[in-house]
Structure 1
Amino acid sequence: MAHYTRKDMASVSRHLFKVLDVAGASEYVRHTRQHKALVGDVLASLTNVIERSDVAIYTFGSMSEGTTTPGMNSDTDIMMCFRIYPVFETSDDVRFDDMNVRYRTEHGDADYTYLIMLSDEETPIGFCKLEFMSAVDTEPIDPDLFFNICMDINGRFVITNSCMVDAMDQDERNGPAATTFKRPGFTDLDYIPSFRCAKWPSVAEEFLTRKRKYGFPSTDMAGDFGSFGIFFVPTGHSETQEKHLQWRLSFSLQERKIMLNLNPTQFKCYILLKMVKEDFVKPVVPGKSLTSYQCKTSIFWSIEQTHSSIWVGSNLVACFVKCLHLLKIWIRNGFVPNFFMPPVSIWKGSKQICKMVTCIIDNILKDPIEYLRSLKCDRVGSLLRSSLEPCVADGLGMPDHAEESDNYFREAKRTLHLSVHRLHYSFICETAYHWIGLLQHVSAGDDLDTCITYHRRLIGLLRNTTKMSEMTSQQLNYVQQASEYVLPFLLTSYGSQLASKSLLQPNGDTYEQAMAHLKTGQHSDALSGSIKLAAILYAMEKYEDCLKLLNDKEREIAPDLITIGMCGRKRDDFTHTVLINERLVNKIINNKMTSSEVLRENTCACVIFLPSEMPLIPKELQYELFRSFCSETEFSQDVNFWFDFVAVDSKVLLYYMLYLVHKKLGHRRDRNDAFLFLNIFLEKDFNLCHAETGFNLVGTILRDMGHLESAMSLFKDSWTKRPDHNAAKWQALITCYLYYRTVTEEDFKIEQESLESEEHTEHEVDDVENEAENEEKIIYQRCEGV
């Protein structure tokens, strides 16, 4: 190892610590990533609960731990736990009374399936088989089950591990995972099906009783581990005959708990290990070699074996060296001990791979600082060299290149800022998608009372976070955070339902409840809740109140206000383009805004109206409820459920409502201004949602003004934006009808004028003839008199 003094190591460590912040490993970015993943898990699991799928969703790995940077492009590991088939270590652990109550409540009969862990001589430590058990005497081959059942060598009916992954949509198989969305430039998603046992397995009892000299993990943390239980993922030991029947024990919840509680130095040390793996090992070592999980394991063991005072910023390089040295010893021996079950090795490489990886680590240990300065991932090496330039006198720096150094930091910060913006934007979009997804169970045929009842039950569940935590199998603090995101949106929808009922059946109490919920819902985001309230006030003919609210919100519209798209595209459509709002990017970074703050202060969602809210919907928007009537293509109810709703951009609806209320109040100039701004937003706002609906609304205004040809041009633009499932077809038909009436009435008018002219001429002739007849009569009478 190159000779460095303790002062040298401390100096490099401090610079490296700051460089990693710039590269995307700061505490702010770390916690933002964690929040996105963990709250997202709750929302996904809640959706499954509402749909009665009984699948809990967990995001593991670097995305939920925050242990990644923009340059790593780490995979997203999503575990889907099928809770309908609980796992027990032994039959004695089964609580049949509880099972009977649970399944009798859900299915009417006490007919359920559960699984028992099986271990035998053919099954290595860390793996087990899952025996199929049923509460009733039935054949174990059930066509309704999504897994296959085989008989093992001992004559037990056990489930295979391959069919679950094989049944999933995937681009490739990756161990226990089905990897999908393998697209250049995008994050891969690894979907891992699993079962769960609520009890800590006796095979891992050593971990709970292990003596820990330095108190890691802490007693409180380790005490929680037993309650987390374990997962069983579908992969067997590669060197056994029954690997297709084996399931690997996974301690993913425990690992994530530890990772979330690492201090900044421990966290950055793990980031460095991953970067070394990506830059120096992966490009030259083929096949299975050093993995992120092995790096994580070295961090765990190193922390357990050292005093906490060692893990400080000035010791970052020293801690990094310690972990690398531990990895070198393990890999040289071909055995990397599992942190939770030390007899189990997590090393999969061959002897040749062992030699290659050991050689690389050995070289790094000889001069770790030089290798750190050579890291390419996220420009860490370049940034470190630039940061160390003032240390030339200590023999650690490079020649002074101030301009080049500034460029490195400027580019790194730009990459980081865009990454943070993308994190907030994607999380808020997913959150909004989940809350509107909760409404998909309200069908177009449901009456108003049914919708009100559904909203009331859903809101009650979201407020009872303890119950929701049990139902989703998610931790209470994340459940509470998730509830705070979606509850205001649902309160707006609930208030709107009550307002509809109040309008149809006037009732003071119902109206007051509606207004209370709608006002609470104004805090859902920066705009949508308030604009929907304004639309309801307009429907109730409270025009002055509506105008005041709209004017207040218009004054709050700033250039850093962005629209989020929660409908109109598939969740897996990564081709969706977002125009970066530079003002918002700078605001987020400078203020270190949380996702909640970005949503409340700088984001507006679509405004949604359900079919049951028909009395409140502005007339021209009501056609959007029938966008799919006579459509050319079918649509997926799971993805396109919003087709049955009115969905309109908040900014578009703001200026459309301003146009309507000014028109109602006779404010001609203000009405025209609102129409002008509506056109400007449609033309200039690239991130606008449901542009086709905006074009439809502008077209209806032009049609009312008598500009039928211009209106038809707008409806054509709308149809271009969305060729199918578009209410533009109705607006175009109405416009064609009006055009026909206009032309017909014009022809009728001309014909009438012609007929009137002919009648006038005939009347003149008749008058002349009558006069002549009269004269003849007079003459005749005179003659008779003579």
Structure 2
Amino acid sequence: MFHPTDHTRSVSLQLSKVLDDIGVNDDMVLKRRQTVMTEESLRTVMANLQDMKFTPYNFGSRTEGTTTAGLRADSDTLACNNQFNIIQDLSEWRHGYTNLLMVRDANTPPGYCLLQKTYDDVPQPVNYPPCEDFYVDSRSRVLMKNDWFVKTLPNGRVRHGPSQSIQGLPGFADDDLVYAYYCKSWPREARILTEAASAGNWPSEELKRQAMNDGCFVVPVGCRGTENEELQWRISTSLTERRLMFSLNIVQIRCYVLMKMILKSYQSIDSEDALSSFICKTVLLHCIEKEEENLWQDDNLLNCLNTCMKFLHDCVLLEHCPHFLIPENNLMARRISPDIKPQILAIIQNILRSDGKALEDIEIDQLGMRITGQFQTVYPGCIVTIQVPSALEYKQNISGHLLFTFMRSLSNRIGGYLTELTHLQTENVVQKLSVSIDKLTTFHSEGTEYELKACELISNFLYMSLGSVLASNSISKNETIHRNSLVMLDQGSANDISSTLKWASVFYCKGDMPQTISILDTILEQYSIERLQSVCCCYQSRDRGKPKHEFEEVCVEDDIKHVLKHTAFCVRFLPCEVNCVPEELKHEYFRPNMDALHKDYWMDWAVVDSIPYYYFLLYKVQKIQGNMERQQAAFDKLRQAIDSDSNLGHRETDLNLLAQCMEQQGMLDDAIACYTASTDLRPAHNAAYSLISQNFYRRHSNNR
């Protein structure tokens, strides 16, 4: 039984409070996990709808909830190609897949394997290489090389181990993408978890049983500096590791976060990948298994950290850190150079001897200042007080960033899906959307908890698109909008303001002003327009604005479904929805092709930001109704929304709509200035050029 001293208890409780304040607490860990796991399921569902042959997975600190704002965790995505079936025995061979047999020999490092090609029609190894991606070794085995993905690195990505990385974008963490193949059976090198009992009573028996069904991945990277490195594939147990991390308590997570902060605070430790966060995680898992479970208490956090740091010290000293699930795989093999080893050992020893004092030097998330309560720093000639975010501000900032990022991802996934419909005939679009909705129904009945959430989010967007396409077809034939279309529009409009605005557009273009006004009034009742968070992912730039404070406040308490009601996506109209688009917005379908080499995927659509579009529709309806006072109020709000919202994605289109409203009010000079501002924002592919020409023509005609 562990009994911390008064000093250890005092330091531990202070550490726990500080980590709680910066978001390392049960609530924020759960929010991180739920948000990122739902985003993973969102991508899985969308990949299925688009018949993509891969399954995406989110791993790493963002998914585990084991990070802070200051640690700036990478975004780690694993894309598993489902066309490949990795097998450990020929009895696992499956027809219709590319089957690769995991083989090893005396020269294969622990934790790695070779992939031997088999025939596509019979479970036997081939005796010839089918293409240049395979190599015939001295034993006549046809082995797949691991460097194939390097040849296809997109622009802007660099190789880092088995991953492709986007690096250097200001304001964002690096984005790592790992390609992998899946093996459904437990790797032979891995521990048989069910056989071992631990002092810490962890992992639990239930957790062990679940883990044994996780299987493994193989990723395209060999062991550095070994023979035939280009033929080796690393065995990844990421699914089980994620499962294990999800089972940890908050004290264990705080211990891991502190280890990563220490790692990032000392350049000599973090340099040349000598130590890594994965090694820290491995050390933590070993300690949880070996130590008694009552060690991991809030008032004993310092002892927990020291226990892990002692284990890490011994690993560095011996240059041996066994992988938690594949013990023969030494994670420190060939990692630590002789010149930095003494430095690393000295730093760890200093931390252990300091009795927690060394943590006061950590600047990440102002940890040291928060521990000491001293928020001042001395500069030559003056003392400066440092303003640090409060616990509530941290909670709001983290929650807002998480949900803002999620909503951007949702917008991006829906946009990617719609891209495939752009040039299809109406009947083909209807068929594609109908099939997708049917697939979602199947997913919803058979999927995981997170896949159910993803299906609910996606389905309403698809219902709205299908209802709008059918309504556009009816309007083109001057027919009454079919009841099925109205049902879909009604269901889709429950999602968010952008969907409801498409519903209003249908009735506006049909000429039904009372129904249009009714929907716009409903929007006013359901949404606080000026407090909505604009979200758009149409442009490639990722550095587009940040969450509003009002949005952050909502994100603290509400879940994804409710936060959707506070999100204003851009409103998208496919070409087959043209008859549901007001005349002023139709010009966006005909942007001049001034830069054919750089054309965004949505260029053949009409796209506008929700909040300006709401005021534009309100302006048009009030104009038709002859209510000059309300018309002017809507005009002023439209102008104000364009000027004040930094998160608008289609400001040039919003300005084009505003300019056309100005023209309709006889404000021709103001309209030209507005069009000019639009072309300044987006010099290429801008409908403003043709609208300017029309303006000059009208002016010339009026003068005559």
Return the TM-score normalized by structure 1. Answer: 0.82
Paired amino acid for 1:343: E
Q: Report the CA distance shift for 1:696/1:285 in structure 2 as closer, same or farther (over 3 A).
A: closer
Question: Could you say which residue in structure 2 is the equivalent of 1:574?
Answer: 542
Deviations 1:432-486 (A, max 9, x none): 1111221111123x332222211111122223226885xxxxxx22222222222
Describe the SS at the equivalent of 1:290.
coil
CA distance in 2, matches of 1:458, 1:635: 32
Q: Which residue of 1 aligns with 2:120?
A: 135
Give the distance between the partners of 1:161 and 1:66, measured in 2 at CA. Answer: 31
Deviation digits for residues 369-422 of structure 1 (CA, Å, limit 9, x no counterpart): 11223322211111011199xxxxxxxxxxxxxxx9995544786566444433
**Is 2:568 aligned against 1:604?**
yes
What corresponds to 1:249 in structure 2?
A: 235
Structure 2 partner of 1:179: 165
SS at match of 1:86: strand
Aligned pair in 2 of structure 1 residues 332, 583: CA closer, same or farther (>3 Å)? same
- Equivalent residues of 1:81, 1:194 under 8 A apart: yes
* Alpha-carbon contact 2:168-2:174 (below 8 Å) kept: yes
* C-alpha contact 1:165 1:177 (8 A) present in aligned 2: no
1:127–1:247 CA contact under 8 A, matched in 2: yes
- Does 2:298 align with 1:313? yes
**Which amino acid in the other structure matches residue 528 of structure 2?**
I
**For 1:5 and 1:268, how far apart are their aligned partners in 2?**
17
Cα gap change, 1:411/1:326 in structure 2, threshold over 3 Å: closer, same or farther? same
* Alpha-carbon distance between aligned partners in 2 of 1:701 and 1:57, rounded to the nearest angstrom: 45
Quote the Cα distance in structure 2 between the aligned partners of 1:649 and 1:239.
53
**For structure 2, which runs of at least 5 residues remain unmatched after alignment?**
376-382
Q: What one-letter code is carried by the residue in structure 2 that aligns with 1:535?
A: S
Q: Distance in 2 between matches of 1:708 and 1:285?
A: 61
- Contact 2:49/2:439 (<8 A) preserved: no
Q: In structure 2, do the counterparts of structure 1 residues 561 and 507 end up closer, same or farther at CA, with 3 Å as the change threshold?
A: same
Question: Counterpart of 2:327?
Answer: 342
Q: Distance in 1 between matches of 2:470 and 2:271?
A: 63
- Find the partner of 2:144 among 149, 159, 166: 159
Aligned to 2:443: 465
| Greater alpha carbon shift after TM alignment, 603-612 vs 214-223 | 214-223
From the superposition, tell whether residues 719 and 333 of structure 1 become closer, same or farther in structure 2 (CA, over 3 Å): same
Measure, in 1, the Cα distance between the counterparts of 2:596 and 2:32: 37
Query: Which residue number corresponds to residue 39 of structure 1?
Result: 38
Contact 1:649 1:690 in 2 (8 A): yes
Match of 1:634 in 2: 596
Matched-pair identity in %? 26
Of 613-622 and 346-355, more deviation after overlay is shown by: 346-355
> Aligned AA for 1:452?
V
Q: Aligned to 1:616, which of 580, 592, 598?
A: 580
Deviation track 1:157-212 (CA, whole Å, cap 9, x = no partner) reads 10112232343236543222233323465312222222211111222253343234
AA aligned opposite 2:120: A
Name the CA distance, whole Å, in 2 between partners of 1:706 and 1:410.
50
**Superposition deviation, residue 249 in structure 1:** 0.8
**Cα offset, 1:587, TM superposition:** 4.6
Tell me the distance in 1 between the aligned counterparts of 2:128 and 2:673.
Answer: 64
1:428 to 381, 390, 407: 407
Partner of 1:551: 521
1: CA distance between counterparts of 2:270 and 2:544?
A: 36
Q: Distance in 2 between matches of 1:178 and 1:529?
A: 35
Please, which of 428, 437, 441 is the counterpart of residue 450 of structure 1? 428
1:533 maps to 2:532: no
- In structure 2, how many angstroms separate the alpha carbons of the residues matched to 1:377 and 1:7? 27
**Contact 2:268–2:340 at 8 Å: present in 1 too?**
no
Deviations along 1:331-366, whole A, 9 cap, x unmatched?
222211111122221113245544432332222222
Shift in alpha-carbon separation, 1:288–1:619, aligned structure 2, 3 A: closer
- For residue 86 of structure 1, what is the amino acid of its counterpart? N
Which deviates more, 84-93 or 169-178?
169-178
Whole-angstrom distance in 2 between the partners of 1:283 and 1:685: 44
Q: Residue type matched to 2:321 in 1?
A: V
CA contact (8 A) 1:564 1:689 kept: yes
Are 1:26 and 2:25 an aligned pair?
yes
Asked if structure 2 preserves the Cα contact closer than 8 Å seen for 1:79 and 1:193, the reply is yes
* Alignment equivalent of 2:253, drawn from 261, 267, 274: 267
1:153 partner SS: coil
* Contact 1:165-1:176 within 8 A present in 2 as well: no
Offset at residue 492 of structure 1 (A): 1.5
Aligned partner of residue 602 in structure 2, secondary structure: helix
Tell me: CA distance 1:7–1:387, structure 2 relative to 1, closer, same or farther (3 Å): farther
Q: CA deviation at 1:575?
A: 3.4
CA distance in 1, matches of 2:428, 2:143: 44
Distance in 1 (CA, whole Å) between partners of 2:169 and 2:634 is 43
Among 623, 643, 647, the residue aligned to 1:663:
623
In 2, Cα distance between equivalents of 1:190 and 1:285: 18
What amino acid maps onto 1:372 in structure 2? L
Q: Which amino acid aligns with 1:121?
A: A
Matched letter for residue 13 of structure 1: S
Alignment partners' CA distance in 1, 2:580 and 2:206: 53
**Residues 1:216 and 2:216 aligned together:** no
Contact 1:20 1:26 in 2 (8 A): yes
Distance 1:41 1:714, change over 3 A: same
Q: Is the 8 A contact 1:503 1:540 kept in 2?
A: yes
Secondary structure in structure 1 of the residue aligned to 2:272 = coil
What is the rounded CA distance, in whole Å, between the counterparts of 2:502 and 2:467 in structure 1? 10
Kept in 1, the 8 Å contact 2:222–2:233? The answer is yes
SS at match of 2:537: coil
Aligned with residue 724 of structure 1, among 684, 696, 702: 684
Structure having the higher helix fraction is 1
User: Residue in 1 aligned with 2:378?
Assistant: none
- 1:724 Cα shift? 1.6
Which residue does 1:516 correspond to in 2? 487
Shift in Å, 1:577: 3.3
Encode CA deviations 1:215-247: one digit per residue, 9 max, x unaligned: 322222222223321111222233531122111
For residue 420 of structure 2, what is the aligned residue in structure 1?
Answer: 441
Count of aligned pairs: 689
Which sections of structure 1, spanning at least 5 residues, go unmatched? 104-111, 389-403, 470-475, 747-786
Over 3 Å counting, the alpha-carbon distance change for 1:433 and 1:683 in structure 2 is: same
Taking the TM superposition and a 5 Å limit, the aligned residue runs for 1:312-391 are: 312-347=297-332, 348-351=335-338, 353-386=340-373
Q: Is the 8 A contact 2:59 2:242 kept in 1?
A: yes
**Mean CA deviation greater in 267-276 or 654-663:** 654-663
Determine if contact 1:378/1:412 at 8 Å carries over to the other structure.
no
Report the more deviating stretch, 83-92 or 200-209: 200-209
2:380 is matched with: none
CA apart distance, 1:507: 7.5
Alpha-carbon distance, 1:5 to partner = 5.8
Shift of residue 116, structure 1, vs aligned partner: 0.5
Aligned 8 A contact 1:461 1:468 in 2: no
Contact 1:294 1:346 in 2 (8 A): yes
1:288-307 maps to which residues of 2 (within 5 A)? 288-307=273-292
Matched, 1:496 2:468: yes
1:204 aligns with 2:180: no
The one-letter code sitting in structure 2 at the alignment partner of 1:189 is D
Within 2, Cα distance between the matches of 1:421 and 1:140? Answer: 55
For residues 612 and 344 of structure 2, what CA distance do their matches in structure 1 show? 59
1:693 matches 2:653 = yes
TM-aligned CA deviation for residue 9 of structure 1: 1.6
Query: For the Cα contact (< 8 Å) 2:642–2:655, is it kept in 1?
Result: yes
8 Å CA contact 2:70–2:365 kept in 1: the answer is yes
How far apart, CA to CA, are the structure 2 residues paired with 1:483 and 1:619? 34
Distance 1:682 1:171, change over 3 A: closer
Equivalent AA in structure 1 for residue 563 of structure 2: V
In 2, Cα distance between the equivalents of 1:185 and 1:614? Answer: 38
Task: Determine if contact 1:607/1:649 at 8 Å carries over to the other structure.
Answer: yes
User: Hey, what does 2:13 align to over in structure 1?
Assistant: 14
